[in-house]
A and B are shown apart, each in its own frame.
Chain A
Amino acid sequence: MSLINTLAQTAPDEMLKGLGAIGAGIGYGAAAIGPGIGIGIVVGNAITAMARQPESAGMVRTTMFLGIAFTEALALIGFVVFILIKFA
Chain B
Amino acid sequence: MTADVGRRAAKDNLFTADPGPAVEAQITADMARRMVPVLPVLVLAAGLIWGADGAVSAAFAVALVLGNLALSAALLGWAARISLPLLMAAALGGFAMRLFLITAIFLLVKDQPWVDVPALGFSLIITHLGLLIWETRHVSASLAFPGLKPTPSKLAGGRR
Contacts and interface: CB of A to CB of B under 8 A. Distances in A.
B11 interface: yes
Interface string B85-123: 101100110011011001100100010000001101110
Contacts of A26: none
Given A61-B80, A76-B124, A76-B125, A43 B91 contact: yes
A87 to B, nearest CB: 5
A84 to B, nearest CB: 6
Given A40-B92, A68-B95, A73-B128, A61 B23 contact: yes
B84 A50 contact: yes
B138 to A, nearest CB: 10
Interface string A32-48: 10011001101110111
Nearest to B146: A62
A80 B125 contact: yes
Given A57-B20, A61-B24, A62-B23, A68 B102 contact: no
A28 B88 CA distance: 23
Interface residues of B, number: 49
Interface in A11-49: 32, 35-36, 39-40, 42-44, 46-48
Interface in B139-159: 139, 145-147
B118 A69 contact: no
Contact of A65 (B20, B68, B73, B145): B73
Contacts of A63: 139
A84 B91 CA distance: 27
Consensus secondary structure, chain A interface = helix
Interface of A: 32, 35-36, 39-40, 42-44, 46-48, 50-52, 54, 57-59, 61-66, 68-70, 72-73, 75-77, 79-80, 83-84, 87-88
15 contacts: A43-B87, A58-B146, A62-B27, A62-B139, A62-B145, A62-B146, A63-B139, A65-B76, A66-B27, A66-B147, A69-B72, A76-B124, A76-B125, A79-B99, A79-B124
